Amino acid sequence: MSTTQPNAEVNRRQAPASRPFAVTALSLTGVLVVGQLYSVLPLLAPVARDWGADQSTVAWTVTAFAIAYATGFLVSGPAADRFGPRRVIIAGGLATAALTGAVALAPGAAAGLALRALQGFAAASFAPAAFSYIATRVEAERRVTAITWLTSSFLAAAVIGQLAAQALEQSIGWQGVFAASAVALAVAALGLRFVLAPDQSPQPSGGGAVSGMLGLLRDRRLLLLYGATTTVLLGFVGVYSGLQLSGPAWLTGDAQALLTLRAGALPAMLAVPLLSSRLARYSPGTRVPAALIGAAVTAAVTGLVADLGPVALGVSLLAFAGCVAVAAPALIQAIGMRAGAARGSATALYTFALFVGAGLGPQLATVLSELGFTAVALGTAAVLAVGGALALAALLRRAGD
């Protein structure tokens, strides 16, 4: 055998350990970056008014961002390996800040859609590089918890991004929301320059990442898990988009009630990392189908109880968010275990599938919103049930291997 692998192991052991607060800083930045995907949801009405478009057209700004975001992972993952995660995070963060500010200046829907797509592509620099940093700079005994915090921050961004945008829009307008986000992203990128440990020497580029991804896509069990991954944020974003577009009559026009419902999901997002040691008693292959089926059931319940008032809807949304928060990190663990040495490529494909689903969520909600929120919730429940079935098929396939 060549000495390449032993030398790589020596370099890994000699690499500087993660600096204090690095995981915290990455998780907070993750909320800010991923929150850009969801910040448009509570802004649909004012943006549509200023652009002279309808809300269904403006909803495409979420999809444009998400599809470009997901596609960008396939580029930024190999870039992080080539140039180092710290360099990619900082450069990508500054580019994202500039493009976020540009969205505030968009004169209409066409320009807004184009700028949101560019913003999403730039924002894709963060997640794969952050996962790479944790894999190479965080001690092994802390790594699973760090990944769970980072993944949970991405999910929490779906709630916090909407909360912040809704609250700020009332005082500074939707353009102010994007301007403030641009400043925050720039500050975060520059701050991470001092928090993250320096990158190691750049590695030679090549076709290894692409060939690794193609190899993973030949694995039928991984294909089932990637299919299940697509349903996670499709269902989650679909439900919250449905609340915005066709919520129950008592919620219509009540911005404070909608703000409260969105905030009510945060305890579930925070609880999952704290319960990670207990959840780890069950294998990822067991947690994934259980969580997705639970999400399907609670999504359906959400639609059925929505007219009963804020307490019933709030409790069902909390349970729904908790199931989604369990499913997402369990999926990346299950995929990583199956991928073995190709975890970097597997993570890029995971984030790609996850946020393709996020981009499709508003479109599902838009199509079903004319039938009311119950139809949106039941539609997303069906999608999540398919995800649970795919994950269960992957589990059964493993048992048969």
Express each pLDDT in 304-324 by its tens digit. Answer: 999 998 899 999 999 999 999
CA 214 to CA 208: how far, in whole Å?
10
Q: What are phi and psi of 158, to 5 degrees?
A: -60, -30
pLDDT score of 243 more than 80: yes
- Residue 401 above 80 pLDDT? no
pLDDT-derived band at 301, boundaries 50, 70, 90: very high
Q: Per residue in 68-93, pLDDT tens?
A: 988 898 888 778 877 888 999 999 99
**Ramachandran angles phi, psi of 53, nearest 5°:** -125, 170
Q: What is the pLDDT of residue 48?
A: 92
Residue 204 pLDDT greater than 60, yes or no:
no
At 66 the pLDDT is: 81
Least confident segment among 100-104, 227-231, 262-266, 342-346: 342-346
Average pLDDT over residues 114-124: 95
- Residues present in the chain in total: 401
Residue 2, pLDDT above cutoff 50: no
Exposed / middle / buried, residue 9 (Cβ in 10 Å: 0-12, 13-18, 19+): exposed
- Would you tell me how many other CB atoms lie within 10 Å of the CB of residue 362? 30
Reduced to 3 states, what is the DSSP secondary structure of residue 288? helix
pLDDT bucket at 11, cuts 50 / 70 / 90: very low
What single string gives the DSSP state of each residue in 219-266?
-HHHHHHHHHHHHHHHHHHHHHHHHHHH--TTTTT-HHHHHHHHHTTH
How confident is the model at residue 105, as a pLDDT? 94
Q: What is the pLDDT of residues 321-375, one digit of tens each?
A: 999 988 988 898 888 778 766 666 777 788 888 888 887 888 899 899 889 999 9
Question: How much is the pLDDT for 344?
Answer: 64
DSSP state of 84: -
The answer to whether 111 touches 64, Cβ cutoff 8 Å, is no
Cα 94 to Cα 87: distance, rounded to the nearest angstrom: 11
Q: CB–CB of 100/119 below 8 Å?
A: yes
DSSP E strands: which ranges in 278-382? Answer: none
In angstroms, the CA 298 to CA 223 distance is 26
Residue 144 reports pLDDT greater than 90: no
Model confidence at 5: pLDDT above 70: no
Q: What is residue 245's predicted lDDT score, i.e. its pLDDT?
A: 84
Contact (CB, 8 A) for 222 and 346: yes
Say what the pLDDT of residue 212 is: 65
pLDDT of residue 14: 43
- How much is the mean pLDDT over the chain? 84
pLDDT surpassing 80 at residue 211: no
Identity at 71, one-letter amino acid code: T
- Which one, of 157, 39, 151, lies nearest residue 100 by Cα? 39
Let me know if 271 is exposed, middle or buried by CB neighbors in 10 A (0-12, 13-18, 19+): middle
Rounded Cα distance between 87 and 60, Å, is: 31
- CB 183 within 8 Å of CB 61: no
Longest dimension (CA), the chain: 69
Radius of gyration of the chain (CA): 20
- pTM reported for the whole predicted model: 0.76
